Amino acid sequence: MAAKPSGEVKTRTVKHTQKNGDIYILERQITYDPITKLTKVLSTKLLSKIPKGSETPVPTRPKRAHFDKFTISNDQTGQISATRTRIGMMDILDHVGKDSGIDNGIYSGTDIGTAQKIISIARYLLASNGQTLPGILTWQLNHVLPYESGITEDIYHDLFAKVGQDETLQQRFFANRCATIKDRAIFECLRKYRKRETIESFFESMKRCADGSRVRVWGADTLRGRMFVQFLALCYYEYLSNEIRNMKAVLGKENGDPTHDTAKILKLEKKLKSWLENTPVYGTLQWFDTVEGVMISSALKGKRWSSEITERDALFLERLGVTQGL
The SS3 assignment for 159 reads: helix
Query: CB neighbours (10 Å) of residue 235?
Result: 21
The CA distance from 122 to 239, in Å, is 14
If phi > 0 it is left, if psi is from -120 to 50 it is alpha, else beta; for residue 203 that is alpha
DSSP designation for 324: S
Q: pLDDT tens per residue, the chain (326 residues)?
A: 555 666 778 888 888 888 888 888 888 888 887 887 788 887 888 888 888 888 888 887 665 554 444 444 444 445 555 555 556 888 899 999 999 999 999 999 899 999 999 999 999 999 988 888 889 999 998 888 999 999 999 999 999 999 999 999 999 998 888 887 766 666 777 776 666 565 566 556 655 555 555 656 667 889 899 989 998 998 899 899 999 999 999 999 998 889 999 999 999 999 999 999 999 888 899 888 876 655 555 554 455 545 567 889 889 989 998 875 55
The CA distance from 140 to 191, in Å, is 38
Closest CA to 243 of 323, 316, 162: 316
Contacts of residue 292, defined as CB under 8 A and 6 or more positions apart, other chains included, come to 84, 85, 86, 87, 88, 306, 307
The SS3 assignment for 94 reads: helix
The CA distance from 166 to 109, in Å, is 10
Contacts of residue 79, defined as CB under 8 A and 6 or more positions apart, other chains included, come to 297, 298
Does the predicted model carry a pTM greater than 0.75?
Answer: no
| Amino acid at position 36, single letter | T
At residue 150's C-alpha, the angle toward residues 299 and 289, to 5°, is: 75
Strands 292-297 and 81-86: antiparallel
The CA distance from 296 to 291, in Å, is 17
Looking at residue 262, what is its pLDDT? 92
Contacts by 315-318 with C-beta closer than 8 Å and gap 24+?
315/268, 315/269, 315/272, 316/247, 316/272, 316/276, 316/284, 317/92
Report domain extents, the chain. Answer: 10-50, 84-320
Give helix then strand counts, H and E, for the chain.
13, 6
Check: CB of residue 273 under 8 Å from CB of residue 312: no
Q: Which contiguous run of DSSP H or E holds residue 191?
A: helix 183-193
Helix ranges (H only) for 210-310 are: 220-250, 263-277, 281-288
> First and final CA of the chain: distance in angstroms?
78
Looking at residue 147, what is its pLDDT? 94
